[in-house]
Amino acid sequence: MRKNLIRLFVLIFMLAFLIDCALISFFYREVHIQKMPLQVDYEKFSKMDISGEVLKSLKKFCDKNDIDFSTYLSIYMAEHDYSVQRIDGLLREYNYKSIPNAQLKHLYYMIFADIECFPIRLDKKEDINRYSYVDSFLAERTYGGDRKHMGIDIMDDNNESGYFKIVSMTDGIVENIGWLELGGYRVGIRSISGAYFYYAHLSEYAADLKEGDNVQAGQLLGYMGSTGYGEEGTDDQFDVHLHIGICIIEDGEEKWVNPFSILKMVDSK
Ligand SMILES: [Zn+2]
């Protein structure tokens, strides 16, 4: 009799547990689906307000669990209102059946799918202590009229033109190469997945590089310099640095995103 009672209790307990699990997963999914916004908030999206460390962790988690990174990131960022500085709690596998905002997922895909390396090749061990950058996205600039800084400047702390090798962060195609008043000698690479990577102020280009060339991640594009802010050949108007910009075209409009955390993600420092 007593044994039967115990069995009954165990059975009831197990049933209750199973029902509980089913309910939790059902409600979690319902809440989750409702939370996904229909519209992409471009202003928040373009700030890429997520730390490089978090990006690294998410990438590692996705690779390990065979999860599509852009899917995961689109859900994660939307759920955190596009702002994540540290990971609270455990990363978990989302239920993908009905979720991510397809447009947001596509935006992250265009940007991240081909990124493989930092845009500066470090040939010597000590080079790692020779460059620096801060988050200056949207900082005020005045040359050529008041405007916002649409990228990040990676400085050569020794201010030596032609020292650092600039390499492509992605596979892609040389879409633009040549002089721009603001960008000096610049190279624009269209990545395979659609984002535009803009490398500006070079001292010189890699030999034979020309429009339409296929490039691979890590391939030499040119050398860090200080060209720009004038007619072709103008140099030394500012310190030696690489300006890196990342842009996508959405609804026929250029949308620049903040490369800071993306650089941190691939920076070996
Ligand atoms: Zn810049």
Ligand 1 centroid distance, CA of 218 (Å)? 21
- Residue 89 — very low, low, confident or very high, per pLDDT cuts 50/70/90? confident
- Counting residues of the chain whose pLDDT is more than 90, the rounded percentage is 72
DSSP 90: -
Mean pLDDT of 135-147: 94
- Delimit the CATH 2.70.70.10 region(s) of the chain: 120-266
Total residues found in the chain within this entry: 269
Q: How many CB atoms within 10 Å of residue 175?
A: 16
Q: Which residue has the higher pLDDT, 150 or 99?
A: 150
CA–centroid distance, 139 to ligand 1, in Å, is 9
CA distances from 203 to 62, 123, 180, 208, 210 (A): 38, 18, 13, 15, 16
Residue 30, pLDDT > 70, answer no
Q: What is the mean pLDDT of residues 230-257?
A: 95
User: Residue 240's pLDDT is what?
Assistant: 98
- Is the pLDDT score of 55 beyond 80? yes
CATH number assigned to the domain covering 120-266:
2.70.70.10
- Average pLDDT (11-25) is 70
* Better-predicted residue by pLDDT, 21 or 218: 218
Better-scored residue on pLDDT, 201 or 18: 201
Supply the pLDDT for residue 146.
Answer: 92
User: pTM higher than 0.95, yes or no?
Assistant: no
H or E element at residue 13: helix 2-35
Q: Report the C-alpha gap between 159 and 155 in whole angstroms.
A: 8
Task: Specify the pLDDT at position 22.
Answer: 66
Going from the Cα of 241 to the center of ligand 1, the distance in angstroms, rounded, reads 8
CA-to-CA separations, 218 to 31, 115, 120, 172, 234, in angstroms, rounded = 43, 10, 9, 11, 28
Tell me the C-alpha distance between 61 and 261, whole Å: 17
Q: What is the DSSP letter of 235?
A: B
Q: Which residues, other chains included, contact 155 with Cβ-Cβ below 8 Å and sequence gap of 6+?
A: 131, 132, 133, 239, 240, 241
In whole numbers, what is the pLDDT of the chain averaged over residues?
90
Q: What does the pLDDT look like over 57-68, one tens digit per residue?
A: 999 999 999 999
Find the range with the poorest average confidence among 65-79, 159-173, 231-245. Answer: 65-79
Give SS3 for 97.
coil
As a whole number, mean pLDDT of residues 95-111 equals 82
Give SS3 for 46: helix
Mean pLDDT within 82-111 = 82
Tell whether the model's pLDDT for residue 116 goes beyond 90.
yes
Beta-bridged to residue 215, according to DSSP, are: 172
**How many Å lie between the centroid of ligand 1 and the Cα of residue 200?**
8
- CA 231 / ligand 1 centre spacing (Å): 18
H or E stretch including 221? strand 220-224
Is the CB of residue 26 less than 8 Å from the CB of residue 98?
no
Q: What value does the mean pLDDT take over residues 35-47? A: 84
CA dihedral 224, 230, 236, 237 (to 10 degrees): -110
Looking at per-residue pLDDT, the higher value among 230 and 17 belongs to 230
**Concatenated DSSP letters of 121-165:** E--SGGGGGSEE----TT-EE-TTSSEE--SEEEEETT--TT-SE
Among 36, 257, 1, 9, which residue's Cα sits nearest to residue 135? 257
3-state helix, strand, coil in the chain (%, to 5): 35, 25, 40
CA of 132 relative to ligand 1 center, distance in Å: 13
Average pLDDT over residues 193-210: 98
Angle between helices 2-35 and 69-79 (to 10 degrees): 90
- What residues are paired with 95 via a beta bridge? none
Q: What is the pLDDT of residue 94?
A: 66
pLDDT band at residue 98 using 50, 70 and 90 as cut-offs: very low
Rounded distance from Cα 152 to ligand 1 centre (Å): 5
Query: What separation in Å is there between the alpha carbon of 84 and the centre of ligand 1?
Result: 25
For the ranges 30-39, 137-146, 197-206, 240-249, the lowest mean pLDDT is seen at 30-39
